[in-house]
Structure 1
Amino acid sequence: MVPVPGPTLGWLGILRLGLVQTALGAVVVISTSTLNRVMVVELALPAMVPGLLVAAHYAVQVLRPRWGYGSDAGGRRTPWIVGGMALLSLGGAGAAAATAWMSVDPVLGLVAAAVAFLMIGIGVGAAGTSLLVLLATEVAPERRPAAATVVWLMMIAGFAVTAGTLGAVIDPYSPQRLVAIVAVATAIAFAVATLAVWGVERGRRQTPSAEAPPPFRAALAEAWRDATVRRFSVFVFLSMLAYSAQDLILEPYAGLVFGFTPGQSTALSGVHHGGVLLGMIAVGAVCTFLGRRRIGTLGAWVVGGCLCSGVAMLGLALAGTAPTVWPLRLNVFVLGVSNGAFAVAAIAMMMSIAAGGQSRREGTRMGVFGAAQAVAFGLGGFLGAVSVDLARLALDSIPAAYGTVFAVEAGLFVLSGLLALRLGRGGEAPARTIDRLTLGRGVIAGVVR
């Protein structure tokens, strides 16, 4: 490949790419939230049916490295983003049609839904991987933390706007109304994403060299030989496993142990999400304005966020021993802030590592990280719920059962933080490389070059 100019994407360009993530999130939330509710409530299907469909959409994303390799070989990310969004939108509309079909023919409807959710997973993987690579290669290193924050906040906005809009227009419910509304929503999402990404790479296309790219297996092996890639992949898997394992058990815990009503437990989940947003914003702001100080390094935020998440999770494990006096809402808020801080810092670090290799394998490296994250998310919620059920059988105590699972999650966060200490130079911009992260007197300090 002929080299292209360095990163030049400004804030307007970052916002444009954020709109792609907004559109992506809008389609995903339809499949994981709206259709999930329709299957369980209106169609009276077992909850494991949508659970397996969502798991399938995560499982197929193990192929993210292959899609990233494809964008590396072609030298452009836009076709993969547009193509992935097209498949994602068709899958979202198809999933709604399949859900409506289940009311008439459950078997054929379920088969169609399985195909549609696989399309969703492939679309998310292809578009999402190339979108992150585009951010990694087109955004200057000092802007990556803020760019990661902006893009992820816009994805959350996509969740919120879509869920609120669908909730307002889907009643009175009917299968035909569901299909029509989802078809319109997915078409809008595809149009927004296409317009947002169009022209971002104009004038920056790489000219293919006469030398053919290596086979996929060779490119993947080359990426995996990089010690930083391997360590960061393990870190992503463990940290995101801990992050997602509490998704399905926090609200039941609040209800069974603390006596929260459904409304109160839902509000508690909102407290957690609010904390996540605050943690993300804090990382973007601090790393942008204090990037040359220790507090502004990505490594410090990743390690600190993981360890604080572990402490907050340990607090949840102990909360069941004193439910009448424990400040559960504050505990959950601190957990959310810590989760948001480490997550967005890890995403920015992921972009830096993907863009920092010696050969042009950004897509392949990002695909490896994305596959680790998808598998962790697919397993996390399921393992968390199953572990609680098994612990309740073994311990015959609801607080002890939940506390045991939360304690294991706390351990995973601490282990993730210790792994992040070993990432070394791979996760920082050249101007402020972390040469080492040390544990001294209980304080983590980034020693910045």
Structure 2
Amino acid sequence: MTLGWIGIFRLGLVQMSLGGMVVLTTSTLNRLMVVELALPAVLAGVLVALHYAVQITRPSWGYRSDTSGNRTRWIVGGITVLAIGAFSASAGVVMMGHAFWPGLMLSFVAYLLIGLGAGAGGTSLLALMATCTRPDRRAAAATITWLMMIFGIAATAGTVGALLEPYSPELLLEIVATVCIGSVILTVLATWGVERGLTAEPEPDAAPLMQGLREIWAEPRARIFTFFVFLSMTAYFMQELILEPYAGFVFGLTPGQTTSLSGAQNGGVFVGMLAVGIGQSALRIGSLRSWVVTGCLGSALALLAIALLGQMNLPLIVPAVVMMGLFNGMFAVAAIGSMMQLASEGRTAREGTRMGLWGAAQAVAAGFGGLAGAGAADLLRLWTSIPTAFGLVFIVEAALFVVSALMALRILEGGRGMPAGRLVPGE
């Protein structure tokens, strides 16, 4: 048996819950540390990078779900750990306001839990989809579930931003607790019985994890795609930790307004993903390569606009951020379609391990990109104005997107009607 559309939609609810919790820790809490608590942006960057660094364990979680015969328990367990970490991170930020070191230690542990939970739950979820979705539905399934995740991010950020006015620590904890508890309940309901009858028994002669990783790394497509994921995701995440502080410092937006700005950005991502899903799958417009290149170059132009708006003191940050989200979404959904297709190539019963490898590459890139962006902004602020410091980081990010577009032109097929994710072999 394979997943039907209802089953795919149910798994999308898990992605929606995951995105809703993670956005609170990478946007709202980050802004509170940098602006309200006047802490260095690099400190927030270290914490967020920590939760990405822990996700280098994703291949291990994927391997465990490959060999256990039950991915659901890893999904539910991971989301539960993520929820505990998200609430603890909020408590840590509140505590840092009056007891810095205890709050920092709590935040350190919390972000470790966030990384472990997202790695275990997210990797097992993607592996279940790659294993149990018909090949002709995988790209569509990836699009549906990521659209739902982006919807969860945008809806959570926008709603929390509105509810957080006027800001108070008590209100923050109450809202985050509600989001986390609701996400765990929704995950349990969404996965209840969905795996029954879908997956095969675990591989009886399962190779050790490192041997499995060596086998996958020897596959040219998997190896090339890993490099592409790392480079493009570094570009994708460099603005993650500095966009809200930039909006607060330069444009005077409040915590609620910058959280809503994050919601607007992810609303743009949602529309961009939807455009690719409809354009390529239904209307047959463009190829995978053309959508990836368009997304990368459009993201670069939007980042240049964001940098210039700060220099010119023009209050157009919201439309510029929405534009960036739109092109980010175009790029991301094409890469996701590739990932879903490539996960089932090569040796069978390795879907979880492949998804884990690419998830680890994405996580390392996200942590590196976010930390590099925050650290560079802090250093540049020592020598130049705030708008110029942040603007230079956005310009570097734009350059990385251009390089990613050039790489996509080389390694991705350009013909119409080809399966999403097909790479040029041997390059």
Q: TM-score with structure 1 length normalisation?
A: 0.78
Q: Is 1:309–2:302 an aligned residue pair?
A: no
1:159-170 aligned within 5 A: 159-163=153-157, 164-165=159-160, 168=163
Between the aligned partners of 1:179 and 1:214, the Cα distance in structure 2 is 45
Mapped partners of 1:409, 1:169: distance in 2: 30
- C-alpha displacement at 1:367, in angstroms? 0.9
Partner of 1:79: 73
- The answer on whether the counterparts of 2:88 and 2:107 sit within 8 Å (CA) in structure 1 is yes
Deviation at 1:251, TM superposition (A): 6.7
Q: Which residue of 1 aligns with 2:269?
A: 276
Q: Distance in 2 between matches of 1:110 and 1:389?
A: 19
The 1:42/1:330 distance shift into structure 2, 3 A limit, reads: closer
Task: Decide which of 397, 402, 406 is 1:414's aligned counterpart.
Answer: 402
The AA in structure 2 aligned to 1:241 is T
Whole-Å separation in 1 of the counterparts to 2:183 and 2:366: 24
1:348 offset after TM fit, Å?
Answer: 1.5
2:7 paired with 1:13? yes
Q: 2:217 aligns with which of 216, 220, 224?
A: 224
2:330 is the counterpart of 1:336 = no
2:115 corresponds to: 121
Q: Distance in 2 between matches of 1:342 and 1:172?
A: 35
What is residue 237 of structure 1 aligned with on the other side? 230
Deviation string 1:241-284 (CA, Å, 9 cap, x unpaired) is 1122234555777899xx85537x95876665443222111011
Structure 2 CA distance, aligned partners of 1:224 and 1:287? 30
* Structure 2 residue identity aligned to 1:226: E
Is there any run of 5+ residues in structure 1 with no aligned partner, and where? 438-449
RMSD: 4.0
Cα shift at 1:156: 2.9
Match status 1:132 vs 2:126: yes
Instruction: Tell me how far apart the structure 1 counterparts of residues 387 and 98 of structure 2 sit (CA, whole Å).
Output: 43
Render the CA deviation track for 1:322-353: whole Å, top value 9, x for unaligned. Answer: x5999987765554332210111111211111
**Equivalent pair of 1:39/1:99 in contact (CA under 8 Å):** yes
Please, which moves more after superposition, 323-332 or 279-288? 323-332
Query: What do residues 78-137 of structure 1 show as CA deviations (whole Å, max 9, x unaligned)?
Result: 121111112112222333444455566443332232112101110001111111222222
Aligned length: 422
Paired residues of 1:239 and 1:416 also in contact (CA < 8 A): yes
Amino acid at match of 1:216: L
Q: Which residue of 2 aligns with 1:348?
A: 337
Cα contact 1:288–1:296 (8 A) shared by 2? no
- Following TM superposition, by how much is the alpha carbon of 1:390 offset from its aligned partner in structure 2, in angstroms? 5.2
Q: Residues 68 and 367 of structure 1 are in contact (CA less than 8 Å); yes or no, is this contact kept in structure 2?
A: yes
Which of 72-81 and 161-170 deviates more?
161-170
| Equivalent of 1:379 in 355, 368, 380 | 368
Worse-matched range after superposition: 272-281 or 323-332? 323-332
d(CA) in 1 for partners of 2:273 and 2:240?
Answer: 18
Matching residue within 207, 223, 237 for 2:201: 207
The 1:216/1:407 distance shift into structure 2, 3 A limit, reads: same
Q: How does 1:360-439 map to 2 (within 5 A)?
A: 360-388=349-377, 405-423=393-411, 434=422
Letter in 2 for 1:420: A
Q: From the superposition, tell whether residues 350 and 431 of structure 1 become closer, same or farther in structure 2 (CA, over 3 Å).
A: closer
Q: Matches of 1:355 and 1:158 in 2, distance apart?
A: 27
Q: Does the aligned pair in 2 maintain the 1:102–1:108 contact within 8 Å?
A: yes
Q: Distance in 2 between matches of 1:194 and 1:51?
A: 32
Structure 2 segments unaligned to the other structure (5+ residues): none
Task: Give yes or no for contact 1:237–1:372 (8 Å, CA) kept in 2.
Answer: yes
Flag the structure with larger Rg: 1
Alpha-carbon contact 1:299-1:434 (below 8 Å) kept: no
Q: Match for residue 179 of structure 2?
A: 185
Are residues 299 and 172 of structure 1, via their aligned partners in 2, closer, same or farther at CA, if it must alter by over 3 Å?
closer
What TM-score does the superposition give when structure 2 sets the normalisation length?
Answer: 0.82
Q: Tell me the secondary structure at the aligned position of residue 214 of structure 1.
A: coil
| Cα distance in 2, alignment partners of residues 113 and 122 from structure 1 | 14
Note if contact 2:154-2:264 (Cα within 8 Å) is conserved in structure 1.
no
Alignment of structure 1 residues 4-83 onto 2, 5 Å? 5=1, 8-36=2-30, 39=33, 47-83=41-77
- 2:288 corresponds to which residue? 298
SS of the residue aligned with 2:343? helix
Distance of 2:20 and 2:146 partners within structure 1: 12
CA separation of 1:270 and 1:42: change in aligned 2, threshold 3 A: closer
1:361 aligned partner, one-letter code: R
Q: Which amino acid aligns with 2:289?
A: G
Q: Which of 220, 233, 253 matches 1:262?
A: 253
Looking at structure 2, the residues matched to 431 and 111 of structure 1 have their Cα atoms a distance apart, in angstroms, of: 47
Question: 1:59-80 CA deviation, whole Å, 9 max, x = no partner?
Answer: 1111111111111122332121
> Percent identity between the aligned chains?
51
Once the 2 structures are TM-superposed, how far is the Cα of residue 412 of structure 1 from its aligned partner? 1.9
> Aligned partners of 2:73, 2:293: CA distance in 1, in Å?
35
State how far apart, in whole Å, the 1-side matches of 2:41 and 2:402 are. Answer: 32
User: Which residue of 2 is the match for residue 196 of structure 1?
Assistant: 190
- Residue 95 in structure 1 maps to residue 89 in structure 2: yes
SS of the aligned residue for 2:348 comes to coil
Counterpart mapping for 1:102-113 below 5 A: 102=96, 105-113=99-107
